[in-house]
Amino acid sequence: MTTEPAEEQFTNQIGDHDDIWSIVDNALLGIGVTRETGFMDVIVSVENDEIVQASRALRDDEDSKFDYLRSLTAVDNTADGMEVVYHLYSTTKKHNVTVKVFLSNESLRLPTVTDVWPAANWLEREVAEMFGIKFLGHPDPRNLLMPEEIDDTFPLRKDHPLAEIEVLQGEGMGYSGEEL
Partner 1 sequence: MVEVLSQTSDQSAEFETQDLLLNVGPQHPSTHGVFRMVMTVDGEVVRDVIPYIGYLHRGAEKLCETMDFRQGIGFMDRTEYLAAFNAELSYVMAVEALADLEVPERAQWIRMILCELNRLSSHFMFLGAFGVDTGVFGTPFIYAWREREALIDLFEEVSGDRMMYAYFRPGGVAWDVPVNFVDRVREVLISATQGINDFDSLLSENEIFLARTQGVGSISATRAIALGMSGPSLRASGVDMDIRRDEPYLKYDQIDWDVITGEHGDVFDRYYCRVLEMRESIKIVKQCLEHLAPGPILPEKLPRMLRTPPGEVYLRTEAPRGEYGVYMVSKGGNRPYRCKVRSSCLSNLQALQELTIGEYVADAIVILGSIDIVLSEVDR
**Residue numbers at the binding site for partner 1 (CB under 8 A):** 2-4, 7, 9-10, 13-14, 38-41, 67-71, 73, 75-76, 85, 87, 91, 94, 96, 98, 117-119, 121-123, 143-147, 155-156, 160, 162, 165-166, 169
CB 30, min distance to partner 1, A: 25
Would you say 28 or 131 has its CB closer to partner 1?
131
CB 116, min distance to partner 1, A: 9
Give the number of residues written for the chain: 180
Would you say 49 or 140 has its CB closer to partner 1?
140
Would you say 13 or 26 has its CB closer to partner 1?
13
If one counts every other C-beta atom within 10 angstroms of the C-beta of residue 140, the result is 10
Handedness of CA 169, 175, 179, 180 (dihedral sign): negative
Q: Any idea what the Cα angle at residue 76 is, between residues 70 and 82, rounded to 5°?
A: 80
